[in-house]
Amino acid sequence: KQEVTQIPAALSVPEGENLVLNCSFTDSAIYNLQWFRQDPGKGLTSLLLIQSSQREQTSGRLNASLDKSSGRSTLYIAASQPGDSATYLCAVEGNRDDKIIFGKGTRLHILP
C-alpha cells in the first residue's frame, strides 16, 4: 500500500532564505506527483505537477524535483517571503488504481 511521508512536519525560517521541503513515497508505480499549498481554512491550490517521466518542474520561485526510483521529491522555494507561509502537501497518483495518496504536509512559517 502506498505511503507518503513529508519531512519536516513544521518549519520556521527567516524571510529571504532558500528552503527545501521533502516528500517520500513507498511505491514507485505512479503516474505523477503533485505539490499543493493550503492556507488556513481554505482548499488546496495546485503548485506543480511532475509526471513520472519527468525529473523536475519550475514555476516562478518554486522548483520541484522527482526521483521516482528512490521514491523522493523535493520542493525548493527560493527567496522565501512571508506570503509563502502555508501548509505544503505532496500527493502521488498511483498507476495501478488511479488512487491519490497525500502526505500529511509541512507547515511552513516565514518570519518577517
Binding residue for other proteins, selected from 72, 76, 100, 107, defined by CB under 8 A: 100
Residue 99 interacts with other proteins (CB under 8 A): yes or no: yes
Binding residue for other proteins, selected from 21, 23, 34, 92, defined by CB under 8 A: 34
Residue 93 interacts with other proteins (CB under 8 A): yes or no: yes
Using CA atoms, how far apart are residues 85 and 108, in angstroms rounded to an integer?
A: 5
Q: Which stretch binds other proteins (CB under 8 A): 13-21, 61-69, 78-86, 87-95?
A: 87-95
Using CA atoms, how far apart are residues 64 and 73, in angstroms rounded to an integer?
A: 7
Residue 74 interacts with other proteins (CB under 8 A): yes or no: no
Whether 64 contacts 78, CB under 8 Å: no
Residue 105 interacts with other proteins (CB under 8 A): yes or no: yes
User: Residue 58: which residues within 8 A CB-CB, separation 6 or more?
Assistant: 48, 64
Using CA atoms, how far apart are residues 103 and 112, in angstroms rounded to an integer?
A: 27
Q: Which residues are near other proteins by CB under 8 A?
A: 31-32, 34, 36, 41-46, 49, 51, 89, 91, 93, 97-105
